[in-house]
Amino acid sequence: MPRPRSKSREELIARAMPLFWRQGYHATSMDALVKATGVARGGIYADFEGKDGLFRACLEAYRQLVAGPAIALLHAEGAGIEAIRAYFDFFIAKHERNGMPGPGCFVANAMTEMAPHDAEIAEIVSAHNRALQMAFLQCLKNARGASAKLSNAELEELAEFLVTSSQGLWSYARSTKDIGSLRNFSQTLVRLLETRMR
């Protein structure tokens, strides 16, 4: 049965994304996708060549629509430590609105479930992490200003540390009901960062 004309490709992705985001690839069946999207198997195969293609499309859409606005905070003119704090606050607020335990980060979820076995997913995850690391690095360079206390190599290490901390935090968010623990982690991380940058 063909996909109804009222269901655009973007709408199909929007309805499938929460399912993949919360449940992961393997726990999400085609039957569940048909039910969630209102699109028959034939329509999903016509647009995405199956579950794999739909999952990749959802992951890319997540990067653009969900992670994109948070990363944009890091790209603001003159963004520094406060922008890094705002990045973490952005996702913590989203977890609070959605309820805890949260779904975590779709990219982090895919990184642990799919990337070790799927080269295409691994490249999407790597591209996301590289972009996030570069955004963190620019904030750190802005925060350093004219001070030469930390070298560029040290700032790069800190940026990589922030990416790892970020992905770890969102993974932890999937197993706790305490939103306060996410806030405490973020505050501690920013304090450590401020101390290191002095």
pTM > 0.85: yes or no: yes
pLDDT digits (tens, 9 = 90+) for 128-139: 999 999 999 999
Confidence band of 169 (pLDDT split at 50, 70, 90): very high
pLDDT digits (tens, 9 = 90+) for 3-35: 444 468 899 999 999 999 999 999 999 999 999
For residue 90, give both structure tokens: 């952005």
Backbone angles phi, psi at 175, to 5 degrees: -125, 10
pLDDT digits (tens, 9 = 90+) for 116-125: 999 999 999 9
Q: Name residues whose C-beta falls within 8 Å of residue 124's C-beta, 6 or more positions apart in sequence.
A: 56, 59, 60, 63, 107, 110
pLDDT digits (tens, 9 = 90+) for 49-107: 999 999 999 999 999 999 999 999 999 999 999 999 999 999 999 999 989 999 999 99
CA distance 131 to 71: 9
For 140-156, what is the mean pLDDT?
86
Exposed (0-12), middle (13-18) or buried (19+): which is 17, by Cβ within 10 Å? buried
CA distance 84 to 190: 8
Q: Give the pLDDT of residue 145.
A: 74
- Report DSSP state, residue 2: P
Q: Give the pLDDT of residue 3.
A: 46
Of 193 and 5, the one with more pLDDT: 193
Half-sphere exposure of 144 (CA within 13 A, CB side): 19
How far is residue 10 from each of residues 25, 31, 47, 57, 121, measured CA to CA in Å?
A: 19, 19, 11, 10, 20
Is the link from the previous residue into 103 a cis peptide, with omega within 30 of 0? no
For 35-46, what is the mean pLDDT?
91
Residue 148 has pLDDT above 80, yes or no: no
Q: Give the pLDDT of residue 1.
A: 45
Q: Give the pLDDT of residue 8.
A: 86
For residue 183, give both structure tokens: 């806030």
Give Dmax (Cα) for the chain.
64
Q: Give the pLDDT of residue 162.
A: 97
